[in-house]
Amino acid sequence: MSISRKELSVLLMGLLLIVVPLIACGCSTDADVASYNLAKQAEDFQLNRRVVFYNGITGEYMLTIVGRLSIEADGTDKQLEVTVKTGPKEFKKHTLGLSDNVTYFCEQLAPAKASVYMYTVTFKPSTIIPSIDLQ
């Protein structure tokens, strides 16, 4: 029984789809897997979260952002980028500066199912298929 190049490439791609998420996650416990899966859901705008910025000296809240949001901390610029999904294909981005006395916390507002047995691989066509402009 021989395997064609096409069948071999499909088999290798399937193995990569299984192995890469396991390696990338580096998860070893059920808690690690659940945490990874929740983080992935949050970054894919599937969970409602709240980000609160507060002054650590006065204890006062300065700003609150609630919604389906993604956060990315930029340590070199000392800022937090918050991208909020406001509609099916609509987003808003906020960039907030952090300092010695201004910090934030992010809270997931409702429980979510996060299997400790299953990984999800999400392909975004725009990252796989190049954009071609025809003139």
Averaged over 55-60, what is the pLDDT? 88
Distance CA(86)–CA(95), nearest Å, equals: 16
pTM of the model: 0.63
pLDDT over threshold 80, residue 84 = yes
Three-state DSSP state, 5: helix
Mean pLDDT of the chain: 79
Q: What is the DSSP string of 101-134?
A: SEEEEEEE-S-----SS-------HHHHSPP---
